[in-house]
Amino acid sequence: MERRRFLESCAVLGGTAGLATAAAAWADSAPRPYPRARLVDVHGTPVRASALAADTNYLFHYPYASTPCFLLDLGRPVSAAAPLRRENGSTYGWQGGVGPGRGIVAFSAICAHKLVYPTREVSFIRYKAGKSTTGDARVIHCCADHSVYDPAVGGRVVSGPAPQPLAAIVLDYDAASDGLFASGTLGAEQFDAFFAKYEFKLALEYGQGKARLPTGERAVVRELAQYCRQTIDC
């Protein structure tokens, strides 16, 4: 009798642990939702997906006021990638491109290596359609230590020291208005580490505690060249 009760307990515990593991895996692979923000231009006019120039670096801040993201029209359809792997070994899927040509993608512009990001003064990280010094074309290349990411495959690492892909930004496309919305992230976020590393600089730039304010209902999209005084080429 005691043995049967013990075995039943083990079965229940085993089942619970299995459910917990499955739930953790699901939570790890699902997008992390944030308040939805419409992408707009500097005048507040909604960005039209079909008006984006292909192979051009656009920048917006999401899901926080100070966290930069690249918006790219790769000029060709890109579909969902094979599972991507975070540094901790967990995997997740990526949605692929959106928009009329299914080539519009967005990624956090915070490098997954040492958190280099585009500032008003300079950007060491950017998308390059032509060949970069590593010989790769159509990649996001961080010139700080040469981490190279493929935006057509969910931001996976092509080469360099980055231990994991760039976090992807979930984009929703509204075909009726040709509009774009950001609604979450996929993959390994670096936001906590980013706020910790740049706390002093961000406080000077945004005001105490304001860098971590949510983006709000609208995220302003600019060309990187209009946001940032100098983009480092490599």
Q: Which residues bind ligand FES (CB under 6 A)?
A: 111, 113-114, 116, 142, 144-147, 160-162
Q: What would the DSSP string read from start to end of 72-141?
A: EE-SS--PPPSPEE-TTS-EE-----BTTTT-EEEEE-S-TTT-----SSEESEEEESS--TTS--SEEE
Rg of the chain in Å (alpha carbons): 20
- Rounded to whole angstroms, how far apart are CA atoms 140 and 153? 11
Please choose, from the candidates 152, 63, 52, the residue with its C-alpha nearest in 3D space to the C-alpha of residue 105: 152
Closer residue to ligand FES, CB minimum distance, 148 or 202: 148
- Rounded to whole angstroms, how far apart are CA atoms 80 and 96? 4
Closer residue to ligand FES, CB minimum distance, 38 or 126: 126
User: How many CB atoms sit inside 10 A of residue 46's CB?
Assistant: 17
CB of 145 to ligand FES, least distance (A): 3
Q: Residue 222: what are its φ and ψ, rounded to 5°? A: -135, 160
Closer residue to ligand FES, CB minimum distance, 111 or 170: 111
CB of 110 to ligand FES, least distance (A): 9
CB half-sphere exposure, 70, CA atoms < 13 A: 34
Closer residue to ligand FES, CB minimum distance, 145 or 217: 145
Closer residue to ligand FES, CB minimum distance, 38 or 113: 113
Closer residue to ligand FES, CB minimum distance, 149 or 181: 149
CB of 112 to ligand FES, least distance (A): 7
CB half-sphere exposure, 73, CA atoms < 13 A: 16
CB of 157 to ligand FES, least distance (A): 10
CB of 193 to ligand FES, least distance (A): 12
The answer to whether 180 and 99 are in contact (CB under 8 A) is yes
- Tokens standing for residue 6: 């013990």
The answer to whether 191 and 185 are in contact (CB under 8 A) is no
CB of 198 to ligand FES, least distance (A): 13
CB of 196 to ligand FES, least distance (A): 15
Closer residue to ligand FES, CB minimum distance, 29 or 159: 159
